[in-house]
Structure 1
Amino acid sequence: MRTVIFLSLLLVAIVIAEDKYDSIGDNININELLENDRLLKSYVKCLLNKGPCTPEVKKVKDTLPEALATRCAKCTERQKQIGKQLAKEVKKRHPELWNEMIAFYDPEGKYQDAFQDYLKP
């Protein structure tokens, strides 16, 4: 009986772990990115299909539509933290890029309420 319970718990843990994005964006040095406008703009250009992508940023780009649609349900806490920090900084320091991102990823404005909730501390 203990074996069955253990295996059931193990299966649940595996399913929960698989419901999260794998280390997408976890290796991005957030401080370096926020301190380097050229690098930040390069990442945003990738996300907007206006420039080349590093493999790491391409993963973020490929995941972004689903993350927006699901309120980042599969994001790890680290991914949520990085996303919030990046969004706040881009919005504050580069409003023109922020507006381009909104127009590109949410042209109908259907994610705005959810995203504002997401950005709250």
Structure 2
Amino acid sequence: MKAVFLTLCFAVAVLAQDKYESANDNFDISEVLGNDRLLHAYANCLLNKGPCTPEVKNVKDKLPEALATRCAKCTDKQKQTGKALAQEVKKNHPETWKQLVAMYDPEGKYQQAWKDFLQE
């Protein structure tokens, strides 16, 4: 019985590692969406044009993998936050969106996958 319990604990630990850290999942996205200055500061970090907060640096480090895997390791909250930010930037800050796409998907490999992801 002990062996079964230890095996289950190990399996849960392995599965938990398949997701990104959820420490910042309580991030208030409305604060960013309602503040163009803050949104541009975050975008500048992602575009290597400005300083990064630790939270945005963490996103920046994981962004290439998240794009390539369609956010497979994202928690549900991270997916919601990512969608909201992407939709806001794409709709209301198209120049910034173009710069982000040019930097993170210059070959257009992820365009269709991300269109689908944003519409889910």
Partner of 1:115: 114
Partner of 2:53: 54
Checking the alignment, whether the CA contact within 8 Å between 1:84 and 1:119 is kept in structure 2 is yes
Partner of 1:30: 29
1:27 deviates by 4.3
Q: Distance in 1 between matches of 2:41 and 2:26?
A: 17
Partner of 2:98: 99
Q: Can you give the 5+ residue segments of structure 2 that lack an aligned partner in the other structure?
A: none
> How much identity, in percent, do the aligned residues show?
63
Q: Can you give the 5+ residue segments of structure 1 that lack an aligned partner in the other structure?
A: none
Q: What is the TM-score of this pair, normalised by structure 2?
A: 0.95
Checking the alignment, whether the CA contact within 8 Å between 1:25 and 1:60 is kept in structure 2 is no
Q: Distance in 1 between matches of 2:23 and 2:70?
A: 16
Partner of 1:4: 3
Q: Distance in 2 between matches of 1:11 and 1:31?
A: 37
Q: What is the TM-score of this pair, normalised by structure 1?
A: 0.94
Query: Superposition RMSD on alpha carbons, in Å?
Result: 1.2
Closer/same/farther in 2, CA of residues 113 and 105 from structure 1, 3 Å limit: same
Closer/same/farther in 2, CA of residues 95 and 58 from structure 1, 3 Å limit: same
Q: Distance in 2 between matches of 1:52 and 1:23?
A: 23
Runs of 4+ with deviation above 4 angstroms: none
Partner of 2:81: 82
Query: Alpha-carbon deviations, 1:14-53, whole Å to 9, x = none?
Result: 0011111112642432000000000001000000001110
1:10 deviates by 1.0
